[in-house]
Each structure stands twice: as C-alpha cells, then as structure tokens.
Structure 1
Amino acid sequence: MVILGLDAALARASAALWRDGAVVTERRRDAQRGQPAVLPALAAEVLEAAGHPVPDVVAVAIGPGGFTGLRAAIALAEGFALGWGVPLLGVTTGEALAAALTEAELEGREAWSVTTAGRGGLVLERPGEAPVLVEEARLPMPAGPVVLVGDAAPVAAARLLARGRGRGCPARGCRWRVSWRLRLPGGARRGCRTAWRRRSMRNRST
C-alpha cells in the first residue's frame, strides 16, 4: 500500500510517501503561516522523487493546530484524493505525534499531546479522548506515568513536575512520572515528526 501524508498543523509543513509501511521519501520546511505556499511544493517534490505513483490513500493531519496550516493541508489532501479517486484519511495531531514514539520512549507510559493555542492556552489530547482547551495552570494531573509530545510539551512538563514536587512527590519515583519528547522530522528534535495512524475521515471514489 502507498500512502501520501500531508501535515501543516504546527510550525513545519511536511509531506511524506509510505510504501508498505516504510517511508520512501519525505520533505519538510519551517513555514509558520506560510503553509499554503510551501506544502504543495513539498508534495510535488515527494511525488516526483518517488516516480509519480498514484497513492492508495491520502492521509492528512486534521488538528489541533493552526487554522491556516490545517486549512491548506486539508484542502490539498482533498484535491489529491478527489483527483486520484482514492480514500482520504484524517489523523489528529496527537495521534500523529504518539505514533512517532518508539516502544522504548513510551516504556509503559501514556502519551499526551500538548500544543499551543491562542491567548496562552494549551490544547490537550489524551488517548481515546477528544482534544480539549485548557489553561496551563489547570492541566490535569496524570494518574500514571506519561510522556508528553507537541510544541508545548516542555511547558506542560515543567508545570506538572513543579506541581508534583509541591505535593511532596519527587519526579523520580513519582507514581505519575513525567517525561517529554519534542520532535521535528530529520535531525533536529524540536517539533513534530510526520507519522500516521490510519483512521478513516472520508472515502472518496469516482
């Protein structure tokens, strides 16, 4: 199976092509608020590098994230899916970030995605739950060990660890031990790595 993945939810725009579970080629670029111009070019580069295959599926990040980037990515993905007559699949930002973690990084922890929102808020996405907007000071305490991902992971980790120490619970040995991973594709580990867990958003066929 060949999957074309598009992501512009956070600060970077990225496109990647998978074939039978392995990444064939990928491109990414810093593009805060410039995703509508950048993402189509990245997708074209990915398809050209792979020999212009017709994917079996088009996958796209559907948020949480910035409005401009999400609108650009979803519109582009819909256009590709309609043109090729293939299914369109949506994956949330939290699902994509969690899917990029290795088994060693998870180590029995639950993955929480924490991304920035307007006016100093945060968007929290936990497994099996819809994303919710929360104030930094009102982040819920985890019931067990967690690993935080997303562009606001360092802020959330610092807040939870400080609150835990205030309750007499040191970070090491604490029942709800917190760690965080902040990723970007490639060498720099500072943002979001494109990874997809397949979940049906809409089937398009001609």
Structure 2
Amino acid sequence: MSGEPVPERIIVLDASPAGESVGARVAALQGNDLALLASARQPGHEGIGALPVMLETCLNEAGWDAPDLIVVVIGPGSFTGLRTTCALGAGLAFGAGCPVVGVTRGEALAPFLDQLVATTGLEGWLCIYGARRGRWFVEVAAAGADVPGDIFAVQSGVWQPGPGIRVLAGDAAAEAADVFGDERCRVSPVCEADFKSIALAGLRRLRGDMPPRSPLPLYVDPPEAKLPRSGLRATPQ
C-alpha cells in the first residue's frame, strides 16, 4: 500500500474465544498512536449475538460514520463467533467502502512473544486456547520464525509439545503449564492480545509485512451439528 493513506479510523472485531472464555469485544482506534476512542465487550454466547449493537455503540461513541479499516480476529476459536465477526466485518467493509483484513490470535501477540523468546533463548512459543469437549486450539511458532506456524486442535491434558522449553500464551496457558510442567514451559506475562496489538497486526497485513490471509473464519474443528431427534424430513415428492 505504498503511497496510499494510512487508515486513521480502525474497527477491531473479536469473538474468537471458545469454551469457558466465549464472548465478544469491539473497539474503535484512531491515529498513528491508535488511541482507543471506544470499546465494548460482553461475555458468553449473548456477547456474540450482541456484536452488531456493540459495533454501532462504538461507532457512535467515536463519532464516525464509517471506519477506514476493519480488523477481524479470524481464529482459532469459536465457530459461531468467527462466522459472526467475519460476516459482520465483511458487511461493514462493503457498506463503508474500506478494506477488511483478518489476523489470528497468535499473529496479534507475535511481536511480544517473539521478543520474549529472543531474550530468554527458548525454543519458541505456543498460544493455547480453550476449545469445546476438553480440547485445546494450539498456534505454534519456532524461535526466529518470520510468521507463526501450524494451527491445530489437540486433546487437553494429554497432548505434549516436542522437546525444548517454550513460552506459553493464550487463555489456556496456565492450564497447559500445569500439564507440561515447569521444566517444559514459561507462561508469558501477557497471554491475550489487546485491541492495539490486534490493530497493529491488521496494519502489518494491510501493508504486506505479513503473508496474505483472507478475512475468513479459520476453522480448526468442524461445526458441531446434530441430526434432529426425529430424523430428517422426508424428501418432498
């Protein structure tokens, strides 16, 4: 985006947390210093449903008719939350005529975690997030890597990382540290990205400083769908 104006008004949408941490948050940030003008958050599945209202509230409090950039956290995390935020971000971007970019939770934390790994000399970092049915979502990066690596789901309390000592972040970092043991990990003092970190990651992606990634839900697990108790209806004749 060389030569293009830097976005002044940025909206952040995040409803990625799953499991016990499920919820949603929205923020409006402005200027080169990304000053926080307005924010709203609500826990639980009700928070996901309230995203449009929280978005409208933030726009009104910021005094904006429309943003210049929308940054959506695309995962890993809640199927419903990711689908809702990506759809809402795409719709707002279409109406406002502005770009929308997606970032992962680990990408937003990467600058801090990379520096922590470099200063401690550890093998890399793991972002570990609670998922449904006793599972974790894991986002991993090796020391010195330009971008985070694989994202996958594992059984919590059973899975172990490879050899070496790693920095742990994410909403399940403390739980994972109890499983791995002190000799295998160090819990980061910052485990979740704040609004500014998410916005900065979005700007890096917009500038081309990070590899392209579509602002679409990053589904790690398939959706949890069940057949009706009475079974499917017969095919119309």
TM over 0.5: yes
Report the CA distance between 1:155 and its aligned residue. 0.9
- Give 2:168's aligned amino acid: L
Q: Secondary structure of 1:62's partner?
A: strand
Structure 1 segment 17-36 matched on structure 2, within 5 A: 17-18=28-29, 19-36=31-48
Paired position in structure 2 for 1:120: 134
Identity of aligned residues (%): 31
Which residue of the other structure, out of 159, 162, 178, is the alignment partner of 2:186? 178
Larger Rg over CA atoms: 2
Q: Deviations over 1:110-168 (max 9, x none)?
A: 33210112221111101321211112312214534x3322221111111111xxxxxxx
Structure 1 segment 19-98 matched on structure 2, within 5 A: 19-52=31-64, 54-98=66-110
Which residue of the other structure, out of 123, 144, 154, is the alignment partner of 1:134? 154
* 5+ long unaligned stretches in structure 2: 1-6, 142-147, 206-211, 216-237
CA RMSD in angstroms comes to: 2.8
Distance 2:78 2:63 in 1: 31
Paired position in structure 2 for 1:188: none
Change in CA separation of 1:36 and 1:124 when aligned onto 2, cut-off 3 Å: closer
Paired position in structure 2 for 1:5: 12
The answer to whether the Cα contact below 8 Å between 1:16 and 1:24 also exists between their aligned partners in 2 is yes
Distance 2:67 2:118 in 1: 31
Report the CA distance between 1:56 and its aligned residue. 2.2
TM-score (normalizing by structure 2): 0.66
Distance 2:112 2:50 in 1: 23
* 5+ long unaligned stretches in structure 1: 162-170, 184-190
Q: Secondary structure of 1:126's partner?
A: strand
